[in-house]
Amino acid sequence: MTEETILSTPSLQAADLIRDEARRAPDKPGVYRMYGEDGTCLYVGKAKSIKKRILQYAQGRFHTQRIGLMVSLTRSMELVVTASETEALLLESNFIKKLKPRFNVVLRDDKSFAELMIRKDHRAPQVRKHRGAHSTPGDYFGPFASTWAVNRTLNTLQKAFLLRSCSDSVYETRTRPCMLHQIKRCSAPCTGLISLEDYGDLVEEASQFLKGKSRAVIARLSADMTTAAEAMDFEQAARVRDRIRALSAIAMENSVSADSVAEADVFALFSEGGQACVQVFFYRAGQNWGGRAYFPRVDKTDTDPEILAAFLGQFYEDKPIPRLILSNVRPHELELLEEAFSMKAERKVEIARPLRGDKLSLVDHAHTNAREALGRKMAEGSAQGKILDEVCEAFGLETRPERIEVYDNAHIQGTNAVGGMIVAGPEGFQKSQYRKFNIRDADLSPGDDYGMMREVMRRRFSRLVKDEEEGTEEVVRPDLLLIDGGAGQLAEVLAVLADLGLDDIAVVGVAKGPDRDAGLERMFMPGKPPFMLPLKSPALYYIQRLRDEAHRFANGAHRTRRSMDIKKNPLDEIEGVGPGRKKALLHAFGSAKGVSRAAVVDLMKVDGINQPLAERIHAFFRKS
């Protein structure tokens, strides 16, 4: 992509700046970014001619008050010239997704999707779940919108095609078939129960099935079953029958027929009351591979075609694009969007609004889901607002808290100590904002909860102060801190906040009741005696949910750290023993325990281990 960046003069104000920029802007396609006084991005736009677009802003005739406000807040601009308007569209989506400008339609909660991968870099290809970049050679199939959907399809592949799912290291060390073979989910290529040539045929059948040729695969299997039955090999016929049943079952699970759609993403937009929901379903191989509802940030003045166009651009910024995209709304600048997607996918991509037939049924199904999802969200948002009002009243806050941070620690007698932070607000739990803190202070006494909380608070809020000083974007102060603990924990937190000049943040300690009974929690706040909330108070139930979520998150982080610690190999701690020598030692002695028992003379027999290193290894285990 050919780009040329042009910076505007930041000292001018609003309309003067726009006019000055319009005078110097090139008459070429590109992307422009408008920034506010604090350096945050207000708006990202693309244009066939940057000069003409900026002239429209300079003339001061705005379609909406919102655009007028945006221009009045602009303090600087950045322009990027591109080779074409198509490239400008792709770059615009990239900038919006990264900068999340205040005045753009912004896709929120954009998580990666799982895929199925059939590896092709091993003599016996493995099928497994995959997320992230396509760095391993193989065939990738997806996306699957939920863990349930990908697990269901993986189970089907195991039943129908008997492909292995074990790791390469397990495969290489097997001497007899594993349990998956016993329950007829693997053909056991590891032990030679199936030839690699026949196993390759199974892999090819699985690939054909995932590419949408399920009927051809089932037809071939039916022929094989008939042949086996005619040869009186009823056991083989029964095995093939079970494979056919597995494939037929997944083909019949879809509530909406997708026979006419081999590969398509279906989008439906429903907007109401200044909010919008976009429901997406993924159809691959004639099957529904799951869906997800999105709630992009929009303005009441945004039209449905504009919302969907902005959404699609950001959605496919980091995802593979199918050959066909179906929607209930014709997106703004559809032809340009098709051209941009085709250029990115390096093949033709079609965006269509079906008017009849099976494809219309798929879109209508998605639209129904979008309408219901937005209705649920608006109802939940109303209820959540009432609960936050109750919390505001219970703790005497001036305004409803928009961001609540909850902290808890987890450890076993001080080992593998982890601090957990969860975040909640008007839209519920904000899991992308969760953070864990591995406790690093070596001077802490084992089990020193006060010291752990002190370290977590210092690290969290030192970073916040630093980000505020540097003017980092997306820095948000919490309105309320909930701490798992009583007066002692509260005092530690208040001391850290006071040292950092953040004593204006409301802090509440939530101490467990006698015998840890739910409902008998005592609340601790500075300058107030401990108090309890009414037993049936919505605020109390909400705080219990927050505390339980923080406890769950901290314990999960602790378990992960503990399991990683357990898996550590003592050989990793010996200077001079790298991955190669470690592998050679384990190969020679079977395990780290075997290495620990070896004499120096035996260690020296291993490739790469000289006498000084052998003596160091021997001494390490004797010292331990």
Query: What are the tens digits of pLDDT across the range 105-136?
Result: 888 766 678 888 888 888 888 888 888 778 88
Q: Is residue 159 part of a domain?
A: no
Residue 319 CA, distance from chain mean position: 13
Q: Are 405 and 456 in contact (CB under 8 A)?
A: no
Percent of the chain predicted with pLDDT > 90: 23
Mean of the per-residue pLDDT values of the chain? 83
409 CB neighbour count, 10 Å cutoff: 27
Model confidence at 384: pLDDT above 90: no
Model confidence at 191: pLDDT above 60: yes
The pLDDT value recorded for residue 255 is 43
Tell me phi and psi for residue 268, to 5 degrees. -140, 130
What band does 11 get if pLDDT is binned at 50, 70 and 90? very low
Q: Are 113 and 145 in contact (CB under 8 A)?
A: yes
254-263: average pLDDT: 59
Do 367 and 413 fall into the same domain?
no
CATH number for 557: 3.30.420.340
Do 432 and 343 fall into the same domain?
no
User: Of 99, 126, 151, which residue is a domain's last?
Assistant: 99
Do 23 and 92 fall into the same domain?
yes
Q: Is residue 180 part of a domain?
A: no
Q: Is residue 46 part of a domain?
A: yes
Do 541 and 425 fall into the same domain?
yes
Distance CA 165, CA 169 (A): 12
Query: What are the tens digits of pLDDT across the range 50-88?
Result: 888 888 887 766 667 788 888 888 888 888 999 899 899
Q: Are 366 and 280 in contact (CB under 8 A)?
A: yes
Query: What are the tens digits of pLDDT across the range 560-593?
Result: 877 776 666 778 778 888 888 888 887 777 777 7
Q: Is residue 26 part of a domain?
A: yes
Query: What are the tens digits of pLDDT across the range 388-445?
Result: 888 999 999 888 898 999 999 888 766 778 899 999 988 788 888 999 998 887 777 7
Query: What are the tens digits of pLDDT across the range 481-490?
Result: 999 989 999 9
Model confidence at 256: pLDDT above 50: no
| 201-225: b (≥16 Cβ within 10 Å) or e | ebbebbbebbebbbeebbeebeebb
Do 410 and 533 fall into the same domain?
yes
Query: DSSP 3-state assignment of 568?
Result: coil
Do 523 and 606 fall into the same domain?
no
Among residues 550, 558, 432, the alpha carbon closest in space to that of 481 is found at 550
For residue 129 the two structure tokens come to 């779940």
Do 365 and 425 fall into the same domain?
no
Residue 297 structural domain: 263-375
The pLDDT value recorded for residue 107 is 84
Do 578 and 555 fall into the same domain?
no
Please, which residues bridge with residue 268 across strands?
A: 279
Distance CA 596, CA 614 (A): 11
CATH number for 322: 3.30.420.10
Q: Is residue 70 part of a domain?
A: yes
Residues 204, 206, 209, 211: is their CA dihedral positive or negative? Answer: negative
What is the number of domains present in the chain? 4
